[in-house]
Amino acid sequence: MGEKTIPSKTGLDGAVMALRLHLLEKGNRFEHGPDYEGNIKALTDVRQTVRMYEGMGYTKLVELGDPPVYAMLQRGHRELHVFQPQDPQIRQWLADEKADPNDPAIRAMLLSKTGVSENQVAAAAKPRRYHINEVDDVFLVTTDDDD
C-alpha cells in the first residue's frame, strides 16, 4: 500500500481534506440509495441527526462547524457520514440519482476541491461500498456492516 501524501493544512480545512481523502481512497465505490421526503421534516439538520443516531448506538467521531455541517459516526465497522453540502455543485451531484457517483469527472472535481491529485490518494486497505441517501436536506453516506 502506498504512503498517503496530504498537503499540509490545519483546522477545518485540514479536517475536511482528510475526510474527503478517506472517502475517495482508490477502490471505494458509491451508489445512490432511496431519498426520503415526508409530510414533516424527519431530519432537520446535522446536529439533530447526530443525536438521533447516537440514540441508536452510534459513536460520534467527528463533528465540524457551528452549527455543524458534517459529522462522522461509527457503530461496529459501519461508518455513517452526515452532512449538508455547502457547495451547490456537490449538492446537485448528490441529489441527482441519475448521476453516476463513480464518474471520473465527479471524482476529478472532488479531488480538485480537496487540492490533491489522483496520485496522492492512497488505495483503500479494504475497499468500501458507500450508500448515499438524502432525507429532507440532510445527506447520509453509510457503509455496509460487514468487516
pTM of structure: 0.81
Q: What is residue 5's predicted lDDT score, i.e. its pLDDT? A: 41
Residues 6+ apart with CB under 8 A from 114: 16, 17, 20, 21, 24
Sorting pLDDT into bands at 50, 70 and 90, what band is 1? very low
Domains of the chain, by residue range, sit at 11-118+125-143
Render pLDDT for 104-142 as a digit per residue (tens, 0 to 9): 998 998 888 888 889 989 999 999 999 999 888 899 999
Beta partners for 131? 31, 142
